[in-house]
Amino acid sequence: MYKVEIGKKILSANEEYAAKNSRLLAEQGKLCLNMISSPGSGKTTILVRTINELKGKIKIGVIEGDIQTDIDAKRIQATGAPAVQINTDGACHLSAAQVSSGLEKLPLADLDLVFIENVGNLICPSAFELGETAKVVVLSVPEGDDKPAKYPAIFAKSKVLLINKIDLLGAQMQVDFNLERAKTDAHKLNKSIEILPISAKTGEGMADWYNWLVEAIKNIRSD
């Protein structure tokens, strides 16, 4: 009787592609950084600013990983830098095979540096080597200072930790968040979703949430 170790097999196939990517990058002397963070930590904003401010000094290409949409690749392409969008179609990380096809589509010979912007996720991408030179983890101030303790793997494996949004540290600020856009997009996906803006910190809006809970408990009991 066979005992097939599926987890290992999938990882090995990934490792073969990772080794291929790593060889290609080493042969051509290219730096390749795998950018990993939670959704909304500012990876794309960091890349856009980095590309713009290093123009004429470092030639940068980007492989953009997203579950869906090409919002991020378009933001990168607006800088003039070459960007390849890869949609993982639901998967929570980029694979080395996807990066391999991304590297083929970039004008690699002309570049000094390839950024891989991984899917927004602190967990899964840390387990999949892509053949990159190094991992860079981005943690943004509003996510909280407990994240290295709670999600240790990616912090243990990264060469650099960028702590982003330090303008929010104890300063006066305004967050660019269009409440109507988020509501409209959520309603497009789900007509019946209940949307409750709250602040668990100040208590604003929490009464509506409590009312929803009380009604939901009543409904369960009357079923």
Q: Which amino acid is at 26?
A: A
In contact, 115 and 35? CB cutoff 8 Å: yes
CB of 114 to a copy of itself, least distance (A): 11
Is 221 a binding residue for a copy of itself by CB under 8 A? The answer is yes
Binding of a copy of itself by 24 (CB under 8 A): no
Extract the tokens encoding 113. Answer: 């540096």
Tell me the C-alpha to C-alpha distance, in Å, between residue 65 and each of 35, 93, 171, 211. Answer: 10, 8, 32, 39
8-30 in b/e burial notation, b at 16+ Cβ within 10 A? eeeeeebbebbebbbebbeeeeb
Rule CB under 8 A: is residue 145 a binding residue for a copy of itself? yes
Are the C-beta atoms of 212 and 194 separated by less than 8 Å? yes
Segment contacting a copy of itself by CB under 8 A, of 11-19, 77-85, 94-102, 197-205 = 197-205
Q: Which residue is associated with the tokens 């291929």?
A: 20
Stretch that binds a copy of itself, among 16-24, 76-84, 99-107, 194-202 (CB under 8 A): 194-202
When binding is defined by CB under 8 A, the residue of 83, 94, 119, 130 that contacts a copy of itself is: 119
Which of 18/35 has CB closer to a copy of itself?
A: 35
Distances (CA, A) of 18 to 13, 21, 98, 124: 9, 5, 10, 16
Question: Between 1 and 20, how does the x/- string for binding to a copy of itself read (CB under 8 A)?
Answer: ---x-x--------------
Out of 22, 61, 94, 151, the only residue in the binding site for a copy of itself (CB under 8 A) is: 151
Residue 114 burial (CB count, 10 A): 26
Q: How far is the CB of 12 from a copy of itself (least distance, A)?
A: 15
The smaller minimum CB distance to a copy of itself, of residues 19 and 71, is found at 71
